[in-house]
Amino acid sequence: MDRQKIALVTGGMGGLGEAICQRMFKSGYRVVATCSPENQQAQLWQKSQKDAGFEFRVYKVDVAEYASCEAGVRMMLDDMGHIDVLVNNAGITRDSTLRKMSAENWRIVLRTNLDSLFNMTQPVLDNMVRSEWGRIINISSVNAQKGAAGQTNYAATKAGIHGFTKALALELARKGITVNTISPGYLRTRMVMKVPPDILNNKIIPEIPVGRLGEPAEVAGLVDYLASNAAAFITGANIAINGGQHMS
C-alpha cells in the first residue's frame, strides 16, 4: 500500500491512548483519536499535542453505543477515505466486590469495554476487506489473565476481548487482516497513579518481577509493531507485556 495509512485509536486522549497516538504518528500514520461526547478537553488536547509536534484528528464517539460508533466511522471514512489500523483501547473501571457491585456498574463496564469492540470494529471491516489489508489490535489487561479482587466486571470484559480476537482472527485471516490482543500490566498512567501510594508501593510493585511500573510508550511500541507489515504472520495472539507479573 503506497498511500499513507490511517490509524484509529479509541480512548486516544487517555494515558495509554495518547502514547499510542504519538507512537503511530511518529511512525508515519495519520492518526485519529476518539473521545467521549462529554469530553470538553478535546480541542485543548489537540492544541497541546500540536504544540508538542503531534497532529491528531479527534472525533467524539460513544463507544458503548453502536449508532454513535457507526456514525462516527462513517464520518471518518467520508473525511479521510479509509481506516487501516484500529486500536480498541477505550475502557473504564468501576471497582467493587461482586457482593456490593451495582447492576449499573456491571453493565456500563461491559458496554464500554466489551460491546465497544463490536461497535467500533464492525463498521471498519468492509473498508479493510476491500483494501485487502488491515490491523485490529485490542487492548486487554493482565487482570483478565490472573484475575483481580474487586474487578469481576473489568476482568470479565478484558477476558472476553481475547475470545473476540481469536474468533475474528479466524474470519479475517485470508483477507489480509490480522487481529491481535495486547495484555498490559500496571502502567504509569493517571489511572494507576491514583492508587493509594501504600497499595502501589507495598502490594502492586512488589508483585512485578522487574520491580517497576510499565511505561505507556513501551506498550505503544508493541502496538506499532503489530500494525506493521513485519507482523503479518501474527494473528489471534495475546501478547503479555506486564514485567513478568503473570506468565502463561
When pLDDT is averaged across residues 142-171 and rounded to a whole number, the result is 96
8 Å CB contact between 182 and 222: yes
Q: Is residue 202 part of a domain?
A: yes
Residue type, 203: K
Q: Is residue 73 part of a domain?
A: yes
d(CA 137, CA 117): 10
Reading the block at residue 216, the C-alpha cell is 505507556
Name which of 50, 52, 44, 71 is nearest 60 in CA terms: 71
Name which of 170, 178, 197, 149 is nearest 239 in CA terms: 178
- Per DSSP, what are the bridge partners of residue 214? 187
8 Å CB contact between 35 and 60: yes
pLDDT at 2 over 80: no
pLDDT at 100 over 80: yes
- What's the pLDDT at 127? 97
Residue whose C-alpha cell is 467493587:
96
- What's the pLDDT at 216? 98
- For the chain, what is the domain count? 1
When pLDDT is averaged across residues 116-121 and rounded to a whole number, the result is 98
pLDDT at 1 over 70: no
Q: Is residue 82 part of a domain?
A: yes
Spot the catalytic one: 29, 59, 66, 154. 154
Is 154 noted as a catalytic residue in this protein?
yes
Q: Is residue 24 part of a domain?
A: yes
Residue type, 59: Y
Which position has the higher pLDDT, 211 or 3? 211
CATH code assigned at 54: 3.40.50.720
Q: Is residue 247 part of a domain?
A: no
pLDDT at 178 over 70: yes
Q: Strand, coil or helix: what is 82?
A: coil
Q: Domain residues for 148? A: 6-237
